[in-house]
Amino acid sequence: MRQLILGFSLVAFSYSVSAAEHTVGQKNKEFTESSLTIKVGDTVHFRNDDSFFHNVFSLSDAKFFDLGSFPQGESKSVVFDQAGEIEVECAIHPTMKMKITVE
Ligand SMILES: [Cu+2]
């Protein structure tokens, strides 16, 4: 039992050390990255760099979310905890799309 707990805490430790942070802007009605490859456990910050509202959402199985609408200068974050391909969109501007690959 003690070995099990020790092993688990080691896994949790290496997981938190390897997790990275990424930032994707929303500028001129486009995501600043058209595609992004990250690792399981990484965080992506979506930041609105335009003077009007943007939204961020995904209907993908690997990560389903809706961050709502937010104004210039604000950012919202998502932790990607499952491997897969995620299509990220803006509900306000249907042409805004990007792809995140979680490995
Ligand atoms: Cu938008």
Q: How far is the CA of 11 from the centre of ligand 1 (A)?
A: 38
Q: Is residue 34 part of a domain?
A: yes
**pLDDT value of position 18:** 78
Domain-located, residue 7:
no
Q: Model confidence over 36-46: pLDDT tens digits?
A: 999 999 999 99
Q: Which domain holds residue 84?
A: 19-102
- How many angstroms separate the CA atoms of 49 and 22, rounded? 15
Give the integer Cα–Cα distance in Å for 80 and 62: 8
CA distances from 72 to 15, 28, 69 (A): 33, 12, 10
Q: How far is the CA of 5 from the centre of ligand 1 (A)?
A: 45
Q: For the segment 89-103, what is each residue's pLDDT rounded down to a tens digit?
A: 999 999 999 999 999
**Domain assignment present for 97:** yes
6 in a structural domain: no
Distance from Cα 88 to the centre of ligand 1, integer Å: 11
Tens of pLDDT, residues 46-86 = 999 999 999 999 999 999 999 999 999 999 999 999 999 99
Q: CA-to-CA distance for 42 and 45, rounded, in angstroms?
A: 10
User: Two tokens at 99?
Assistant: 């792809």
Q: How many domains does the chain have?
A: 1
Q: What is the domain-level CATH number for residue 32?
A: 2.60.40.420
Helix (H) and strand (E) counts in the chain: 1, 9
94 CA distance to ligand 1 centroid (A)?
8
**pLDDT at residue 22, rounded to an integer:** 98
